[in-house]
Amino acid sequence: MNINPVSILKEHDLKHTKQRVRVLEEIALDSVAISQPDLEKKLGKEIDRVTLYRILNTYQEKGILHRIMDMNGTANYAVCTSSCSEDHHHDEHVHFNCTNCNKIYCLEVEAPRIKMPKGFTAKTVSSIAYGICEKCNAI
Protein backbone atom coordinates (compact mmCIF):
# COMPACT_ATOMS: atom_id res chain seq x y z
CA MET A 1 0.00 0.00 0.00
CA ASN A 2 1.34 3.39 -0.92
CA ILE A 3 0.41 5.88 1.73
CA ASN A 4 2.11 8.80 3.35
CA PRO A 5 1.74 8.61 7.12
CA VAL A 6 2.84 12.17 7.67
CA SER A 7 0.27 13.72 5.38
CA ILE A 8 -2.44 11.44 6.70
CA LEU A 9 -1.74 12.71 10.20
CA LYS A 10 -1.93 16.30 8.97
CA GLU A 11 -5.19 15.70 7.18
CA HIS A 12 -6.76 14.49 10.37
CA ASP A 13 -5.29 17.09 12.70
CA LEU A 14 -3.25 14.57 14.56
CA LYS A 15 0.09 15.43 16.01
CA HIS A 16 3.05 14.02 14.18
CA THR A 17 4.79 11.60 16.52
CA LYS A 18 7.24 8.90 15.63
CA GLN A 19 5.03 6.26 17.25
CA ARG A 20 2.04 7.18 15.12
CA VAL A 21 4.10 7.20 11.97
CA ARG A 22 5.68 3.89 12.86
CA VAL A 23 2.32 2.18 13.47
CA LEU A 24 0.82 3.44 10.26
CA GLU A 25 3.87 2.43 8.25
CA GLU A 26 3.83 -1.03 9.69
CA ILE A 27 0.17 -1.59 8.92
CA ALA A 28 0.48 -0.17 5.42
CA LEU A 29 3.36 -2.54 4.63
CA ASP A 30 1.06 -5.35 3.76
CA SER A 31 -2.16 -5.31 1.83
CA VAL A 32 -3.67 -7.84 4.19
CA ALA A 33 -4.88 -6.74 7.58
CA ILE A 34 -2.62 -7.28 10.55
CA SER A 35 -3.83 -8.55 13.87
CA GLN A 36 -3.19 -6.59 17.02
CA PRO A 37 -1.10 -9.40 18.57
CA ASP A 38 1.06 -9.59 15.44
CA LEU A 39 1.46 -5.86 15.45
CA GLU A 40 2.60 -5.97 19.05
CA LYS A 41 5.16 -8.62 18.18
CA LYS A 42 6.47 -6.68 15.21
CA LEU A 43 6.83 -3.48 17.17
CA GLY A 44 8.41 -5.25 20.09
CA LYS A 45 9.33 -2.69 22.71
CA GLU A 46 9.57 0.14 20.24
CA ILE A 47 6.19 1.33 21.36
CA ASP A 48 4.46 0.87 24.65
CA ARG A 49 1.51 -1.46 24.59
CA VAL A 50 -0.83 1.14 26.00
CA THR A 51 0.29 3.68 23.46
CA LEU A 52 -0.42 1.20 20.70
CA TYR A 53 -3.95 0.71 22.02
CA ARG A 54 -4.49 4.41 22.01
CA ILE A 55 -3.05 4.95 18.55
CA LEU A 56 -5.14 2.18 17.06
CA ASN A 57 -8.28 3.56 18.65
CA THR A 58 -7.57 7.04 17.44
CA TYR A 59 -6.91 5.82 13.91
CA GLN A 60 -10.05 3.76 13.85
CA GLU A 61 -12.16 6.62 15.17
CA LYS A 62 -10.68 9.05 12.69
CA GLY A 63 -11.33 6.70 9.81
CA ILE A 64 -7.68 6.10 9.03
CA LEU A 65 -7.75 2.43 9.83
CA HIS A 66 -10.58 0.04 9.91
CA ARG A 67 -10.88 -2.71 12.41
CA ILE A 68 -12.02 -6.15 11.42
CA MET A 69 -12.93 -8.59 14.16
CA ASP A 70 -12.12 -12.16 13.34
CA MET A 71 -13.80 -15.33 14.45
CA ASN A 72 -11.94 -15.29 17.75
CA GLY A 73 -12.72 -11.71 18.63
CA THR A 74 -9.23 -10.58 17.75
CA ALA A 75 -8.91 -7.13 16.24
CA ASN A 76 -7.29 -6.81 12.84
CA TYR A 77 -6.34 -3.55 11.23
CA ALA A 78 -6.05 -2.38 7.67
CA VAL A 79 -5.59 1.00 6.07
CA CYS A 80 -8.83 2.49 4.87
CA THR A 81 -8.63 2.75 1.13
CA SER A 82 -11.54 4.96 0.33
CA SER A 83 -12.27 8.17 2.11
CA CYS A 84 -13.48 7.26 5.54
CA SER A 85 -14.53 9.94 7.94
CA GLU A 86 -14.93 10.22 11.65
CA ASP A 87 -18.64 9.55 11.44
CA HIS A 88 -18.67 6.99 8.72
CA HIS A 89 -16.40 4.26 7.53
CA HIS A 90 -16.76 3.41 3.89
CA ASP A 91 -15.42 -0.01 4.45
CA GLU A 92 -18.21 -1.59 2.55
CA HIS A 93 -16.23 -4.32 0.95
CA VAL A 94 -16.14 -7.98 1.77
CA HIS A 95 -13.37 -9.37 3.93
CA PHE A 96 -11.90 -12.79 3.58
CA ASN A 97 -10.50 -14.65 6.54
CA CYS A 98 -8.35 -17.61 5.62
CA THR A 99 -8.95 -20.46 8.02
CA ASN A 100 -5.53 -21.85 7.22
CA CYS A 101 -3.10 -18.93 7.52
CA ASN A 102 -5.55 -16.70 9.39
CA LYS A 103 -4.83 -13.71 7.19
CA ILE A 104 -7.60 -11.24 6.55
CA TYR A 105 -7.92 -9.80 3.07
CA CYS A 106 -9.86 -6.75 2.03
CA LEU A 107 -11.50 -7.94 -1.15
CA GLU A 108 -12.36 -5.69 -4.03
CA VAL A 109 -15.90 -6.94 -3.74
CA GLU A 110 -18.65 -4.65 -2.62
CA ALA A 111 -20.64 -5.75 0.38
CA PRO A 112 -24.00 -6.96 -0.90
CA ARG A 113 -27.11 -4.95 -0.25
CA ILE A 114 -29.35 -6.81 2.13
CA LYS A 115 -33.03 -6.16 2.55
CA MET A 116 -33.94 -5.66 6.18
CA PRO A 117 -37.10 -6.88 7.85
CA LYS A 118 -39.75 -4.30 8.69
CA GLY A 119 -38.62 -2.07 11.53
CA PHE A 120 -34.92 -2.68 11.18
CA THR A 121 -32.77 0.03 9.66
CA ALA A 122 -29.24 -0.95 8.76
CA LYS A 123 -26.51 1.61 8.52
CA THR A 124 -23.62 -0.62 7.62
CA VAL A 125 -23.11 -4.26 6.78
CA SER A 126 -20.01 -6.25 7.48
CA SER A 127 -19.44 -9.42 5.49
CA ILE A 128 -16.66 -11.83 6.23
CA ALA A 129 -16.09 -14.89 4.11
CA TYR A 130 -14.22 -17.76 5.69
CA GLY A 131 -12.28 -20.22 3.59
CA ILE A 132 -8.92 -20.77 1.93
CA CYS A 133 -7.00 -17.90 0.43
CA GLU A 134 -5.19 -17.86 -2.90
CA LYS A 135 -1.79 -18.50 -1.37
CA CYS A 136 -2.90 -21.41 0.75
CA ASN A 137 -4.84 -22.85 -2.18
CA ALA A 138 -1.70 -22.66 -4.33
CA ILE A 139 0.32 -24.84 -1.99
Partner DNA sequence: TAGTATATGCAATTAAATTGCATATACTAT
Partner DNA sequence: ATAGTATATGCAATTTAATTGCATATACTA
The contact set with Zn ion (CB under 5 A) reads 98, 100-101, 133, 136
98 dihedral zone (left: phi>0; alpha: psi -120 to 50; beta) = beta
Site map (CB under 5 A) of Mn ion, residues 42-61, x = contact: --------------------
Cβ nearer to Mn ion, comparing 43 with 69? 69
Residue nearest to Zn ion (CB): 98
79 dihedral zone (left: phi>0; alpha: psi -120 to 50; beta) = beta
Among 20, 62, 66, 95, binds DNA (CB under 7 A): 20
Q: How far is the CB of 108 from Zn ion (least distance, A)?
A: 17
Q: Are 128 and 96 in contact (CB under 8 A)?
A: yes
Report strand pairing: 65-69 vs 104-110: unpaired
Among 28, 33, 39, 47, binds DNA (CB under 7 A): 47
Name the nearest CA neighbour of 12 among 62, 81, 56, 53: 62
User: What are the binding residues?
Assistant: 89, 91, 98, 101, 110, 133, 136
